[in-house]
Amino acid sequence: MSSVADRPLVYLDHAATTPMRREAIEAMLPYLDQQYANPSGSHRFARQAREALDDAREVVAGVLGCPPGEIVFTAGGTESDNTAILGATHRHGGVPVCSAAEHHAVLHAVQHAGGIIVGVDRAGRIDLAQLDAALMAAEAAGGVSVVSAMAVNNEVGSVTDLAAVAAIVRARSPRAVLHTDAVQSASWIDLRRITPIVDLLSLSAHKFGGPKGVGVLRIRTGVTIDPLLIGGGQERELRSGTQNVAGAVAMAEALRLADVERASERVRLRGLRDRLLDRLLAELPDVMETVGREEKVAGSAHVCIRGIENEALLYLLDEAGVCASAASACAAGAMEPSHVLAAMGVDRSWSAGALRLSLGRATTLADVDRGADAVVAAVQRIRERMPA
């Protein structure tokens, strides 16, 4: 009889990171081995690296639906978010504004800059009435530099109506720039629908099958922000430092494939996600879908399980060979109640048992069924040990 260690892991944590696509690995290998020149050089070898970087920029721009000159390569989503918030605030003055359910890369940057945090609705999306009131007050007090609203929430998977956000921002704070953290969006939403709405957009390659350590900040033509990093003047002086050519090439290939496969993968994964949720709801009492299925992306199966602590649950799932999380991977070690769920008004008796199950390209029917089996068994085991 095989042990858990002998069986492949069930990976249900794609919101934290995705397995790197073989095509992306193959695309980047030559730039780690044979074509390793610095793209800022002037010799033939360097020009080849520059051409590869420019080609990657064109591919990314094509998926976003913007000119290549608007694409700035960064070291990932956190750097892109920080550059958007702090760069816009430093350049334009005023205060930054974001929702209380943003990723910490945005939330902490806004707090660091003395900005305004706006409440959210029951699905974790920025509250439009509160946003309107906050902008009106901020404009009266000195102005708004940037408004940031994430396209897809990284914990609960809810989708923000960015057009509605933009309408309020343009009406109340026409000089402010609008940023979206779209790090969780590329696998689920056609980015060409988002790009025209916002001025700044952040992506991170490892969320859609690319490598860790490379990302994008799209900056609309005519929008000015100050860089976080200065020195060599790379990326049109918006992000100094020798570019990660291999990472950019791999990211472009992963993004291109995600764009091609998006429609079919959404259908497939929605079916698997619904099967997973239906099983948990049918087989366990006191389980709540955190956000309605029509309000979130197809890969999100976030639930709250009343009366248990998710630290124990995650330990038992790990023992069973199932990879899951309670909240954002950046905060997973803290085991504190999720700031997203707190902002949504989820009671502590429910939020303590938050479980983020997230599906992706590698997820199979067998993964979903084995994952459901493990969650049900773990919850039952925890409840059996609880005092009556």
* Active-site residue set: 330
Q: What kind and span of H or E run contains 322? A: strand 322-323
State the DSSP code for 387. Answer: -
231 C-beta neighbours (distance < 10 Å), count: 11
State the DSSP code for 20. Answer: P
Tokens 């925890």 belong to: 382
The span from the CA of 377 to the CA of 180, in Å, is 39
What are the backbone dihedrals phi and psi of residue 266, each rounded to the nearest 5 degrees, phi first?
-60, -45
115, 245 contact by CB (below 8 A): no
Q: What kind and span of H or E run contains 132? A: helix 128-141
**What's the chain's Rg over C-alpha atoms?**
21
β 354-355/303-305 pair status? antiparallel
The span from the CA of 303 to the CA of 309, in Å, is 13
